[in-house]
Amino acid sequence: MGGDFAPDATVLGAIAAYKALEPQQKLVLIGDKNLAQRVFAEQNFSPDLIEFIHTTETIGMGEHPTKAITQKPNSSIGIGFSMLKAGEIDSFSSAGNTGAMLVGAMFSVKTVPGVIRPAISSVVPKVKKGYGIMLDVGANADCKPDTLLQFGVLGSLFVENIHGVANPRVGLINIGEEEGKGNMLMIATHSLMKETNLFNFVGNVEGRDMFYDKADVIVCDGFTGNVILKLAETFYDLTRNSGFENEFFAKFNYEQYGGSPILGVNAPVIIGHGISTPEAIKNMVLLSRSMITTKLIDKIKAAFK
């Protein structure tokens, strides 16, 4: 039921995802079955092919996350996290209330032991080819150096397993290339990262070179990351609305990435964009699958043991 175009976009995306899944991979939809039936019928898709958990309760985009999660256990997000906690599903994704998704993940499957704070990661397109990730983009407005150090570990494991990049290069968002540049947080974090053998630290990454092939994982606090993310989305929209398209800018189309994983919790959880289309929903399901089949969570748990 999450997202501006639910339930249509979600059901259409689920149908598309179903067709891409292998027989032993099962899809479970949670939401208002009566509303979904219409879409199934329109698509000539048998509703029996996808398991459906019926509920009519929803969490609105403007609701207070913690309040909503505690007071609405029967919302689609509430039920999703109960099922995830009980092991009835192996991953949970929604294009609904971002805060509720984050709080729900932390309350239900909980943070991986040893992880200080989970982070939300987002794709960063590269001008030349491929893409990297940036984290955190909004779960933690204030971060400490040891939290950012852990984001480097989480991001490396994600990129290594999901993007198939060996020995990923980790960069730190900063306002100068040299060590000693930046605010107190980034200066302290740079010192920690420089000495770490937990990942392959390649130094500071400035706003001007974040789209160039300097790093596979860009670490930042959630405040800076969120400002960057929204600014990049705005530039993408402004160019697209002006009729401008090119290979690089096309990579900013979030639909192809599906959503933003929460890294550092005990199960694969993905937050979809509020304006998720069927294509975005489908790719969110397929990204969930990759997070399951690569055993990413087990690898994260092992890294923080």
* Min separation Cβ 50 and a second copy, Å: 34
Is-contact 21 292, C-beta < 8 A? no
Q: Supply 174's token pair.
A: 């900063």
Q: Which stretch binds a second copy (CB under 8 A): 7-15, 19-27, 32-40, 138-146?
A: 138-146
Position 218 contacts a second copy (CB under 8 A) = no
Position 134 contacts a second copy (CB under 8 A) = no
Position 127 contacts a second copy (CB under 8 A) = yes
Position 239 contacts a second copy (CB under 8 A) = yes
Position 208 contacts a second copy (CB under 8 A) = yes
- How many angstroms separate the CA atoms of 137 and 153, rounded? 16
- How many angstroms separate the CA atoms of 216 and 295, rounded? 20
From residue 270, alpha-carbon distances to 36, 280, 288 in Å are: 21, 12, 7
Among 38, 194, 230, 299, binds a second copy (CB under 8 A): 230
Is-contact 263 155, C-beta < 8 A? yes
Position 262 contacts a second copy (CB under 8 A) = no
Position 132 contacts a second copy (CB under 8 A) = no
* Min separation Cβ 54 and a second copy, Å: 33
> 293-298: which pairs have CB atoms within 8 A and are 24 or more residues apart?
294/161, 294/162, 295/161, 296/157, 296/158, 296/161, 296/162, 296/268, 297/112, 297/266, 297/267, 297/268
Mark 147-186 with x for binding to a second copy (rule: CB under 8 A) and - for no binding.
Answer: --------------------------x-x------xxx-x
Q: Which stretch binds a second copy (CB under 8 A): 51-59, 128-136, 148-156, 219-227?
A: 219-227
